[in-house]
A and B are shown apart, each in its own frame.
Chain A
Amino acid sequence: MKELITSLANRYGVRDWKDLKAGQAACFVDSGRLRDCLRWLRDEAGYAHLSFATAIDQLERGVFTLTYALRNHERGHSLLVHSEIDRTRPVVDSIHRLWAQAWTYQREMKEWYGIDFPGSPRVDEEFVLEGWQGPPMMRRDFDSLAYSDATYAERPGRASSDPAEHMKRELYPEEQA
């Protein structure tokens, strides 16, 4: 394992290696070297299987964290490869030529986070949100209330009570504030 860590570091500047639990580790690579790094892991290091790929919106730091979960079936080891891209320029290399199924994950990330993977098949098509007009809804600054208010009509007949005011009306209405 030490050998693998050293190779990754030397070849692709991979850092922050962390053993999460038995048979699972995580590491970080710059987005510019991401595709090359994944290719090497697939072809040279035995991590032939892509389990899934997803993104995390790190709003406070202004980045998206991309996570690719790889699996080396011979060694029974999983590796989470993290990378980060600028939230204001969310574009990253597509890996659909490394793993054919990756285009599905990339299409999902395009719809949910607005992250673009140029060249990825059908990346601009709807994934699960049919007819969605709004901004990518998994971005943490997506204001679901503003979106609902702008998109849907309010049903009449709703009313809410403030607990303290309600208790005053019920329990001590005669007293002045």
Chain B
Amino acid sequence: MNIKDFIAPFAVWKRAFEKPFTVRKPIDERPGAPRYRGFHINDAKACVGCGSCEAICMNQAIDLVPVAGLPAKEGDSGLRPRVDYGRCCWCALCVDICPSGSLGMSNEYVWVDADPEVFRYTPGVEAKPWDKSELGYRRAEGYRLLDGQRVAMPELDHQAAVQSFLELVRGYSRQQAEREADRCVACGLCVASCPAHMDIPGYIKAVRDGQLDEGLNLLYETNPFPEACGRICTHRCEAACSIGAGTGADGEPADPVAIRWLKRYIADQVELADYGRALPRAEPDSGRRVAVVGAGPGGLAAAYYLRLQGHAVTVLEKDEAGGGMLRYGIPEYRLPYPALDKDIAWIQSLGVDIRYGTAVGVDLSLADLAASHDAVYLSTGLPAPYRLDVPGDDHPRVLDGVAVLAAATRGQSLGLGKTVAVVGGGNVAMDAARTALRAGCAVDILYRRREADMPADPDEIREAKAEGARLVEKAIPLEVKAIPLEVKAIPGDPAGALVAWNEARMVQKEDGQRPVPEPIPGAVHEDRYDSIIAAIGQGPDLAFVAESDGIEIRRFKPVVASDGRTSRATIFAGGDLTNERKDAISAIADGHRAALAMDRLLRAKGN
């Protein structure tokens, strides 16, 4: 070693106070590119917890976890995706698939922590600095892995439809059904919304796989009316469908999967003669006897599931055919009778005995029935129409909507005249209006609130209007008056009546409540109609229940437990008679639940 070697390291010191040639570039300012795929963000309010992100993640980096303060509700599982950054490969497929469009990625990519557990987190729930990041990866406009548009259903056009009672909706072909079934991501959000909790993802998969016997079997596990429900169900499942939670490629709200039409497709495709191949037969006879009052969907559903368990079931029906409101309250252009007959025929084929033209309370008493059977199910529905409750509502030209529909079912002459006013905004009102249109009448629908408030199915409202009914919103009926004699005396003039109604405006009386129609002083109209159809709802008729039957009745309804049991241990009740939803699928669900409870009761008795 010489002296030079010793001094050399100090030589660099002579530059110590010179301006450096390098440019200072702080490393804390390196933002990701505008569309960089950085840490996830999630709009937890828009997310519906369907788990499509979890399903598509090729590294199993996503779990669905419950979140405090986000309870499960219709159309939202309450679960939210949790990302494990030990596994995520930043491919962004989760963002691309997300049906609600809630998931995105910020362009933030630096996150340092000594605790490895923090890198597993729930975006949008656990606050992060990048939550509000405008930049980062989002699904490109117009780019969708899921098809937001449902396969169009072939329908009669409205001009042709109104000429006849031919079925409006023609049903999917195999190709159409399989394509529509392909839109389902099988998240199962719909199942909770269905009153019968049908295995919807299961039967949609059966459609996709072409396994229709398997599909039919799944339908009948919870619903013995697939032909009817495949046409007229209130399809709450579709409101919950995650595919309808976001927007399609065109930016318009995406269509939910056509669950109802797919159910119909399965039932339509399997011939009644082949049902036996797919469906279970009844268990051997149990020796127990059950009576069901009312052959509507609820009563017959109870009968079906009781019969499957081997019990002898007798159904008593006051009318001349089964189906209840499905037959007498729904016109055949929505539910053709052969489809309903097919559902009922399969139930009968198991050995369910239906006695038509037998009215409990008239032909025999409930006490007799209870004495001669081990259990009784009451499913008598809501047969008593509400009156208009205005002066003159007993005028002979004021008709009851359900009675008009029943007369149409029976092929009787309706005698409506040429001009008809339908009062009401529910499905019965729409059906009565459309039936009157088919009878060649000019139809006005008078409804006291706005179209948006109408309880009828939006499809029905749309179709009624398309077929030519005139909707008069915010119209409060005041009085029905006889036509003065001097006017009526014109020869050949049909009998009619005058309807006085008051224009209303919507007033928000209490916050959080829905607005109330309030008459506008002086804005009273008087219109002449040949017939006025009142369709403002129906109530129960419990005249057949005697006090000595021991059934507690409160507010005109039998009091029932969640399984349908009344205050009398062997008598159960359900359907429109007891539930609030008042639709076929809820009645069917009630019937199924009660059948299971009655079966437990009967088996306990047997031991």
Considering the chains assembled together, what is the distance between the CA atoms of A163 and B116 in angstroms? 28
Is A164 in contact with B188, judged by CB distance below 8 angstroms?
A: yes
What is the total number of residues of chain B having a CB less than 8 Å from a CB of chain A?
A: 35
Does B444 interact with chain A (Cβ within 8 Å)?
A: no
Collect the chain A residues with CB atoms within 8 Å of residue B78's CB.
Answer: 166-167, 170
The reply to whether B72 and A158 contact each other, CB–CB distance below 8 Å, is no
A88 contacts the other chain (CB 8 A): no
Q: Does B183 contact A (CB under 8 A)?
A: no
**A160 and B59: CB pair below 8 A?**
no
Contact A170 B72 (CB under 8 A): yes
Are the C-beta atoms of B60 and A163 separated by less than 8 Å? no
A174 part of interface (Cβ distance < 8 Å): yes
Q: Taking A159-B65, A166-B72 as contacts, is the C-beta distance between A175 and B197 under 8 angstroms?
A: yes
Residue B166 is within 8 A (CB to CB) of chain A in the complex:
no
Contacts A145-B58, A163-B79, A166-B79; A155 near B86 (Cβ below 8 A): yes
In the complex, which residues 131-177 of chain A have their Cβ closer than 8 Å to any Cβ of chain B? Answer: 144-145, 148, 152, 155, 157-168, 170-172, 174-177
Encoded as 1 (CB less than 8 Å from any A CB) or 0, chain B from 42 to 67 comes to 00000001110010001110111110
Q: How far is the CA of A145 from the CA of B89 in the complex (A)?
A: 10
Would A148 and B197 count as touching, CB distance under 8 A?
no
Task: Tell me the smallest distance from the CB of A164 to a CB of chain B, in Å.
Answer: 3
Q: B197 and A172: CB pair below 8 A?
A: yes
Instruction: Give the shortest distance, in Å, between B222 (CB) and chain A (any CB).
Output: 9
Interface residues in A117-133 by Cβ distance below 8 A to B read none
Do A163 and B64 touch (CB < 8 A)?
Answer: yes
Q: What is the minimal beta-carbon distance from A142 to any residue of chain B, in angstroms? A: 10
Q: How large is the interface on A (under 10, 10 to 19, 20 to 34, 35 or more residues)?
A: 20 to 34
- B248: min CB distance to chain A, Å: 22
Residues of B62-92 whose CB lies within 8 A of A: 62-66, 71-73, 77-79, 84, 86-87, 89
- Give the contacting residue for A161; candidates B64, B87, B593; CB below 8 A: B64
A163 and B49 in contact (CB under 8 A), knowing A152-B86, A170-B72? yes
Known: A144-B59, A155-B86, A176-B596. A163 touches B50 (CB 8 A): yes
Name the B residues within 8 Å of A174 (CB-CB). Answer: 562
Question: Within the assembled complex, what's the spacing in Å between the Cα atoms of A171 and B79?
Answer: 13
Nearest-Cβ distance from residue A65 to partner chain B, whole angstroms: 21
- Chain B residues lying within 8 Å of A159, measured Cβ to Cβ, are 63, 65
Chain A, residues 54-85, CB within 8 Å of chain B (1/0): the string is: 00000000000000000000000000000000
- Residues of chain B lying within 8 A (CB to CB) of residue A155: 84, 86, 116-117, 120
A163 neighbours in B (Cβ, 8 Å): 49-51, 64, 77, 79, 187-189
Docked complex Cα distance between A170 and B596 (Å): 22
Contact B191 A168 (CB under 8 A): yes
A contact residues around B201 at 8 Å (CB): 164
**Interface flag for B192 (CB, 8 Å):** yes
Q: Which residues of B contact A171 (CB under 8 A)?
A: 72-73, 192
Q: For B66, what are the chain A residues with a Cβ–Cβ distance below 8 Å?
A: 161, 166
Query: Considering residues B64, B71, B593, which has the most beta carbons from chain A within 10 angstroms of its beta carbon?
Result: B64
B59 and A167 within 8 A (CB): no
Residues A172 and B192 in contact, CB atoms below 8 Å apart:
yes
Q: Shortest Cβ distance from B297 into chain A, in angstroms? A: 19
Chain B min CB distance to A150 (Å): 13
Give chain B residues whose Cβ lies under 8 Å from the Cβ of A144: 58-59, 89
Provide the main secondary structure of the chain A interface: loop
**Cross-chain contact B51 with A145 (CB below 8 angstroms):** no
CB distance from A16 to the nearest CB of B (A): 26
A164 touches B65 (CB 8 A): no
Contact B63–A167 (Cβ < 8 Å) = no
Name the B residues within 8 Å of A164 (CB-CB). Answer: 77, 187-189, 191-192, 201
Do residues A145 and B59 form an inter-chain contact, with CB atoms below 8 A?
A: yes
> Shortest beta-carbon distance, A95 to chain B, in Å?
29
The closest CB in chain A to the CB of B195 belongs to A172
In the bound complex, residues from chain A placing their C-beta under 8 Å from that of B188 are 162-165, 167
CB closest chain-A residue, reference B87: A148
A177 to chain B minimum Cβ distance, whole angstroms, is: 8
Instruction: Give Cα A74 to B59, complex, Å.
Output: 48
- Cα distance A159–B77 in the bound complex, in angstroms: 16
Query: Which residues of chain A come closer than 8 Å to B54, judged between CB atoms?
Result: 160
Indicate if the CB atoms of A167 and B189 lie closer than 8 Å.
yes
Closest to B50 in A: A163
Question: Which A residues, 78 to 98, have Cβ-Cβ distances below 8 Å to chain B?
Answer: none
Q: Chain B contacts of A162 at CB under 8 A? A: 51, 64, 188
Which residues of the partner chain A approach B60 to less than 8 Å between Cβ atoms?
Answer: 145
A152, B78: Cα distance in complex, Å:
31
Partner of B84, one of A158, A161, A166: A158
Q: For A145, what are the chain B residues with a Cβ–Cβ distance below 8 Å?
A: 58-60
Q: How far is the CB of A22 from chain B (nearest CB, A)?
A: 23
Shortest Cβ gap from B80 to chain A (Å): 10
Task: Report Cα–Cα, A163/B64, bound state, in Å.
Answer: 8
B191–A158 touching, CB < 8 Å: no
Residue of A nearest to B119 (CB): A155
Give the Cβ gap from A50 to chain B, nearest Cβ, in Å.
24
- Which A residues are CB-close (under 8 A) to B77? 161, 163-164, 166-167
Specify the chain A residue showing the minimal Cβ separation from B72.
A170
Tell me, rounded to whole Å, the shortest Cβ–Cβ distance linking B194 to chain A.
10
Shortest B279–chain A CB gap in Å is 18
How many whole Å from A137's CB to the nearest CB in chain B? 9
For the complex, give the distance between the alpha carbons of A152 and B120 in Å: 16
- Out of A148, A160, A176, which one reaches B65, CB within 8 Å? A160
Whole-angstrom distance between the alpha carbons of A127 and B59 in the complex? 24
Instruction: Report whether B65 and A167 are in contact in the complex, using a CB–CB cutoff of 8 Å.
Output: no
Contact A161 B191 (CB under 8 A): no
* Residues on A with beta carbons closer than 8 Å to the beta carbon of B65: 159-161
Encode contact with A along B284-296: 1 for CB under 8 Å, 0 otherwise: 0000000000000
Tell me if A158 and B120 are in contact (CB < 8 A): yes
Smallest beta-carbon distance A172→chain B, Å: 7
A148-B87, A168-B191 given; A160·B64 CB < 8 A: yes
Closest 10 CB pairs of A and B: A164-B188, A163-B77, A160-B63, A170-B72, A167-B192, A167-B72, A164-B191, A171-B192, A160-B64, A161-B64
B-binding residues in A (CB < 8 A) = 144-145, 148, 152, 155, 157-168, 170-172, 174-177
Known: A148-B59, A155-B117, A160-B64. 19 other contacts (CB 8 A): A155-B84, A155-B86, A160-B63, A161-B64, A161-B65, A162-B188, A163-B77, A163-B79, A164-B77, A166-B72, A167-B189, A167-B191, A168-B191, A170-B71, A170-B72, A170-B78, A171-B73, A172-B192, A172-B197
Q: List 7 A-B contacts (CB under 8 A).
A: A148-B87, A160-B64, A161-B65, A163-B49, A167-B77, A170-B72, A174-B562
